[in-house]
Amino acid sequence: MISEFYRSLDSQAQALLSGEDDLIAAMANFSALINDSVKDLNWVGFYLLKNKQLVLGPFQGKVACTRIPLGKGVCGTAASERKTQRISDVHKFDGHIACDSASNSEIVIPVMHDQELVAVLDIDSPSLARFSETDQIGLEKLVNSFENALFGQTTTNLS
């Protein structure tokens, strides 16, 4: 079940994305909305799938890794498995890529179009175990709304 906080944030996201068909512009505003609305974050952004690797897209936060191979780190794992990764302690994640040493927990959600990976939404926190199951459900709903607004689809990203 989606919490009232994420239900409200989803309504804001849908309004923000309504009528927007430019992927980069939508990603920029979507990451800013999450960064401004969700507490205790230090990085929010997208990595786009290009030439069988993830390439940095629009984000909010400090300088980030530019390219991530599929299957490497939390983002690469989410991309290769096409499945949300919710990591309580990134330092215990085998193969973690430390773009920002201040990040301690992370959630990464695949962005899909026609059953194909387009990007991943990466969200980091300086706190350990920052992301709960409630956060995961709410953030997956936000990504679902993003996909629907940009690609005119509904996916099965929801838990």
Residue 159 lies in a domain: no
User: What pLDDT sits at residue 96?
Assistant: 74
Residue 68 lies in a domain: yes
pLDDT digits (tens, 9 = 90+) for 42-69: 999 999 999 999 999 999 999 999 999 9
Residue 158 lies in a domain: no
Mean pLDDT (the chain) is 93
Residue 156 lies in a domain: no
Sheet holding 105-113, edge to edge: 67-69, 53-61, 43-50, 116-125, 105-113, 85-87
- Closest to 138 (Cα-Cα) out of 1, 39, 22: 1
Domain of 53, in residue numbers: 4-151
Task: Assess whether pLDDT exceeds 60 at residue 159.
Answer: no
pLDDT digits (tens, 9 = 90+) for 38-47: 999 999 999 9
Residue 10 lies in a domain: yes
pTM (predicted TM-score) = 0.93
DSSP 95: T
Helix (H/G/I), strand (E/B), else coil: 154: coil
Residue with tokens 């952004």: 45
Residue 96 lies in a domain: yes
- CATH code (residue 42): 3.30.450.40
Residue 157 lies in a domain: no
